[in-house]
Chains A and B, each alone.
Chain A
Amino acid sequence: MDTNTVAAIPLEHIHIGLGAKMAPFAGFNMPVRYSGDIDEHHTVRNGVGVFDVSHMGEFWVKGPEALQLVQWITSNDASVLTPGKIQYSCMPNATGGIVDDLLVYCMAEDEYLLVVNAGNIAKDWAWINSQNNFNCTLEDRSPDTCLFAVQGPKAVQALQSLTDFDLASLSYYTFAYCTFAGFENVLISATGYTGAGGFEIYIPNNQAETVWHAIFKAGEKDSIKPIGLGARDTLRLEMGFCLYGNDIDDTTSPIEAGLGWITKFTKNFVNREAIEKNKTEGTTRKLVGFVLTDKGIARGHYDICDAEGTVIGQVTSGTQSPTLTQSIGMGYVPAALSKAGSEIYINVRGKLLKAVVTKIPFVKK
């Protein structure tokens, strides 16, 4: 996608009507805030809220060698998936970095759904096609698909009246097709980017508005609210989830980014040899979480320093955690300082503020 143009998501008019503050994100005009970042954050942590994340990309991979293609382009081992199961994975590039992180849905033995970041749709599509030496049929259904993330501990009770399918039976990182809000064959997965539990619901554009309203009607008793990308970011950061473009990108190795757990050397994949070398030899820097112990707020692109003020790394994500009411962040530091408890300093607008390397997640589920 041309990053200079801003595309509309199908329900843009609904968000504007709800009074959302809209802003360009990953090439789309997106709702970033409705009632307020902190209120929306707590709504998802303690109740239930709905994100319209229809900007995300959905690629379908089909063919007798679909698994071989998925195995080649992704770092995790997709052969362990059976139909109905999902895994978090990443696509390494040929030069040591990451093309994108994604969810891999096993739809059938010969069919997979790849859910990718909105800002990477064009890049991923070109990359995957360039690696398709497996005669797979690839289909980009992103423009035709809306995605609502209904997140929070009350998600099951908020949505259950819309389907006969027992939502509570859907375990984390699995999905089902069910009749939902009167529509047949709706894809619902027990996934999300918040650590608060809940579902992601994939709907064709022409059903999206009806489903949106049905969700809000069904969830009214649970005080369901629309949630913007602002709270999505604070929620994911409290869990230590990477955001592509901030914490990982074309230049970061999955190993230094702490994604070794989704990098399986039991199979072959793009650039496997170099990444395995990262693993066995260790990387010079590592992505860590930190909590600011001095008063202030760390933000992306701030320098990470030692006590003398020498720059040793960079903050990749930083915010005030609404749950902890303290500033948290992530960033790359020299491997020697990557252990929990290591003291680092963040240059916050000219002031060196003390921070402590902390295990993620910052907030326990």
Chain B
Amino acid sequence: MNIPANLKYSKDHEWIRVEEGNIAYVGISDYAQGELGDIVFVDVNTVGESIEAHAIFGSVEAVKTVSDLFLPVSGKIVELNAKLDGEPELINSDPYGDGWIVKIELSNVAELDQLMDSEAYNSLIGN
């Protein structure tokens, strides 16, 4: 299982990668996509909204199950990955790359310190 060392992780199995300044990308971990199975639909209607840390910003539907998406830190959803509309399976095949889900503007950069590093996340999932 691939748990990259350059990302931060939440207990809800989302990852976050901070780009320049307070812009970050959010997706679900390799572990999460593996547990869910084939993703067939991504439902995010919160673009433009400001959302609290650990609040729901959408859902992902796999063939067999549906799962809420929780924002790892507080922020404003600025963009939904448009590719996921036609190719939701990118979350399975490339969870940290083309399968990113939303781009956000962080409200409070300090919240990042409360997330797990890859080592802590690996131990959470027993990897």
Q: Given that A37-B63, A349-B59 are contacting pairs, would A295 and B41 also be in contact in the complex, using a CB cutoff of 8 Å? A: yes
Asked if residues B43 and A230 are in contact (CB atoms below 8 Å), the reply is: no
Query: Does B124 sit within 8 A of A, measured CB to CB?
Result: no
A230 and chain B: residue at smallest CB distance: B64
B34 and chain A: residue at smallest CB distance: A21
Query: Does A75 sit within 8 A of B, measured CB to CB?
Result: no
CA distance A234 to B15 in the complex (A): 30
A38 and chain B: residue at smallest CB distance: B38
Q: How far is the CB of B120 from chain A (nearest CB, A)?
A: 24
Q: How far is the CB of B59 from chain A (nearest CB, A)?
A: 7
Partner pick for B63 among A21, A38, A295, A296, CB 8 A cutoff? A38
Asked if residues B61 and A230 are in contact (CB atoms below 8 Å), the reply is: no
Query: Restricting to B53-69, which residues have a CB under 8 Å from any CB of A?
Result: 59, 61-64, 66
Instruction: Decide if the interface of chain A is mainly helix, strand, loop or mixed.
Output: mixed
Query: Does A334 sit within 8 A of B, measured CB to CB?
Result: no
CA distance A296 to B92 in the complex (A): 19
Query: Does A36 sit within 8 A of B, measured CB to CB?
Result: yes
A325 and chain B: residue at smallest CB distance: B40
Query: Does B4 sit within 8 A of A, measured CB to CB?
Result: no
Q: How far is the CB of B19 from chain A (nearest CB, A)?
A: 30
Asked if residues B64 and A36 are in contact (CB atoms below 8 Å), the reply is: no
Query: Restricting to B21-40, which residues have a CB under 8 Å from any CB of A?
Result: 35, 37-38, 40
Asked if residues B66 and A233 are in contact (CB atoms below 8 Å), the reply is: no
Partner pick for B40 among A39, A230, A233, A297, CB 8 A cutoff? A297
Asked if residues B43 and A320 are in contact (CB atoms below 8 Å), the reply is: no
Asked if residues A230 and B66 are in contact (CB atoms below 8 Å), the reply is: no
Query: Does A27 sit within 8 A of B, measured CB to CB?
Result: no
Residues on the B chain within 8 Å of A297, using CB: 40-41, 61, 66
Q: How far is the CB of B37 from chain A (nearest CB, A)?
A: 5
CA distance A234 to B62 in the complex (A): 12
Q: How far is the CB of A224 from chain B (nearest CB, A)?
A: 21
Query: Does A15 sit within 8 A of B, measured CB to CB?
Result: no
CA distance A194 to B116 in the complex (A): 44
Q: How far is the CB of A147 from chain B (nearest CB, A)?
A: 22
Q: Given that A319-B64, A349-B59, A349-B66 are contacting pairs, would A296 and B43 also be in contact in the complex, using a CB cutoff of 8 Å? A: yes
Give a binary string over B52-94; 1 marks a CB under 8 Å from any A CB, 0 the rest. Answer: 0000000101111010000000000000000000000000100
Asked if residues B66 and A299 are in contact (CB atoms below 8 Å), the reply is: yes
Give a binary string over A300-328; 1 marks a CB under 8 Å from any B CB, 0 the rest. Answer: 00000000000000000001101001000
Residues on the A chain within 8 Å of B64, using CB: 32, 37, 230, 233, 319
Asked if residues B38 and A36 are in contact (CB atoms below 8 Å), the reply is: yes
Asked if residues A296 and B37 are in contact (CB atoms below 8 Å), the reply is: no
Q: How far is the CB of A298 from chain B (nearest CB, A)?
A: 10
Q: How far is the CB of B66 from chain A (nearest CB, A)?
A: 7
Query: Does A62 sit within 8 A of B, measured CB to CB?
Result: no
Residues on the A chain within 8 Å of B59, using CB: 349
Residues on the A chain within 8 Å of B35, using CB: 21
Q: How far is the CB of B94 from chain A (nearest CB, A)?
A: 15
CA distance A296 to B44 in the complex (A): 11
Query: Does A272 sit within 8 A of B, measured CB to CB?
Result: no
Q: How far is the CB of B81 from chain A (nearest CB, A)?
A: 16
Asked if residues A322 and B63 are in contact (CB atoms below 8 Å), the reply is: yes
Asked if residues B61 and A320 are in contact (CB atoms below 8 Å), the reply is: yes
Give a binary string over A29-41; 1 marks a CB under 8 Å from any B CB, 0 the rest. Answer: 0001100111101
Give a binary string over A247-262; 1 marks a CB under 8 Å from any B CB, 0 the rest. Answer: 0000000000000000
Residues on the A chain within 8 Å of B37, using CB: 21, 33, 36-37, 230
CA distance A21 to B64 in the complex (A): 13
A322 and chain B: residue at smallest CB distance: B63
B63 and chain A: residue at smallest CB distance: A37
CA distance A349 to B65 in the complex (A): 13
Residues on the B chain within 8 Å of A36, using CB: 37-38, 92
Give a binary string over A137-159; 1 marks a CB under 8 Å from any B CB, 0 the rest. Answer: 00000000000000000000000
A39 and chain B: residue at smallest CB distance: B38
Please name 17 further chain A to chain B contacts, defined as beta carbons within 8 Å, in addition to the given A295-B41, A297-B40, A349-B59, sorted by A numbering. A36-B37, A36-B92, A37-B64, A38-B38, A38-B63, A230-B64, A233-B64, A296-B41, A297-B66, A299-B66, A319-B63, A320-B40, A320-B41, A320-B61, A320-B63, A325-B40, A349-B66
Q: List the interface of chain A (C-beta within 8 A of B).
A: 21, 32-33, 36-39, 41, 230, 233-234, 295-297, 299, 319-320, 322, 325, 349
